[in-house]
Amino acid sequence: MNRLAGKVAVITGAGSGIGRAAARMFVAEGAKVVVAEIDATLGEASAREAGADARFVKTDVTDEDSVKQMVHQAKEAFGHIDVLLNCAGGSLREDSPVTEVDPSVWDKTINLDMKGPFLCCRHVIPVMVEQGKGSVVNFSSVVALRGNHIAHVYVMAKGGLISFTQALAGAYSPKGVRINAICPGVVLTERVRSRFTGGNQIRFGGIDNIAGQYPFAVGQPEDIANVALFLASDESRMVNGAAIPAEGGFSAY
Ligand SMILES: NC(=O)c1ccc[n+]([C@@H]2O[C@H](COP(=O)([O-])OP(=O)(O)OC[C@H]3O[C@@H](n4cnc5c(N)ncnc54)[C@H](O)[C@@H]3O)[C@@H](O)[C@H]2O)c1
């Protein structure tokens, strides 16, 4: 308890999945949380579930004005921003090999998975620099660590996010701001569960196949939120510029 006492965290995409689990966990650990989510129904439900210290701010992370407005509201409400979790993201069902994929998949994926974290860092990091402290957590993926995934646009976006994380860590650690990434394996959010049903079961190899070979590679949103909690807290003060695999060894053996 109270591992985040006194901290304010902005969590994008906190209406579902990993971000929603993190919102609950962060409030339970003493943080004030901004649920920065595009879907008002999900965002409001998440903030309610997390408790009185969570506040929903409708945000489209791909829209710079919306991100600016969210940062303004977070500062108005809580005075400072100590933690940014760039959770909003995810692959599209239609993503496929480079020679086949429809260009519209590129636009949507790069917009959400790269431009979103880019814009949020662009507007939250100056607040952290002014405070002289902060922790940013980007959400990459195991797909950036292994060359075997067929969703080629998503792979590119999540790979780029690791380089972005390293570049920002180098640039902003002298100002007291740490930037790290998490590379989750298969996390059973509703979105991912739906991917592993029907025809996609075959396309993705199936959860049982993955879990059979890598017993720790399939987990729950809370498993990843726990890693984010560590990176958000001062317990990780020596961890910077890292891309932490949380995928049961999927990329290691
Ligand atoms: N679930 C996994 O297996 C897995 C694995 C590796 C990496 N990741 C990454 O972790 C992050 C979280 O994944 P998840 O499965 O919890 O996602 P999710 O789909 O459960 O939740 C994503 C949330 O983001 C919101 N969102 C979508 N577009 C938005 C926008 N423009 N602005 C603000 N919010 C927006 C959605 O409404 C949703 O509530 C993503 O970046 C994903 O790529 C997930």
With a 6 Å cutoff on the Cβ, whether 219 touches ligand 1 is no
Q: Which atom of ligand 1 has the smallest separation from the CA of 16? A: 39
From 87, 107, 162, mutation site for ligand 1 pocket: most ligand atoms within 8 A of C-beta = 87
CA 61 to ligand 1: nearest atom: 32
- Ligand 1: centre distance to CA 171 (Å): 26
Cβ–Cβ under 8 Å, residues 117 and 162: no
pLDDT band at residue 203 under the 50/70/90 scheme: low
Instruction: Answer yes or no: is the C-beta of 59 below 6 A from any ligand 1 atom.
Output: yes
63-115 residue pLDDT tens: 999 999 999 999 999 999 999 999 999 999 999 999 999 999 999 999 999 99
What pLDDT is recorded for position 202? 44
| Predicted local confidence at residue 148, as pLDDT | 87
- Identify the pLDDT of residue 199: 52
pLDDT at 39 > cutoff 80: yes
Q: Is the pLDDT assigned to residue 235 strictly greater than 70? A: yes
- CB atoms under 10 Å from CB of 70, counted, come to 25
Is 57 touching ligand 1 by the criterion CB < 6 Å? no
Instruction: Indicate the pLDDT class of residue 195, thresholds 50, 70 and 90.
Output: confident
Contact 128, 134 (CB under 8 A): yes
What average pLDDT does this structure show over 130-147?
97
Distances (CA, A) of 86 to 62, 122, 210: 12, 12, 26
Q: What integer best gives the mean pLDDT of the chain?
A: 95
Atom of ligand 1 lying closest to residue 91 CA: 43
Active-site residue 214, yes or no?
no
Comparing 133-137, 190-194, 222-226, which segment has the lowest mean pLDDT?
A: 190-194
pLDDT the model gives residue 20: 98
Q: Where are the alpha helices (DSSP H) in the chain?
A: 17-28, 40-50, 64-78, 103-110, 116-131, 152-172, 190-195, 200-203, 207-213, 221-232
Phi/psi region, residue 55 (left: phi>0; alpha: psi -120 to 50; beta: rest), is beta
Active-site choice (154, 172, 214, 253) = 154
Please report the pLDDT score of residue 165 as a whole number: 99
SS3 109: helix
Q: 3-state class of 166 per DSSP?
A: helix
Calculate the alpha carbon distances from 247 to 36, 149, 185 in Å.
Answer: 26, 14, 4
Domains identified in the chain and CATH numbers: 8-246 (3.40.50.720)
> Could you tell me if the CB of 16 is within 6 A of ligand 1?
yes
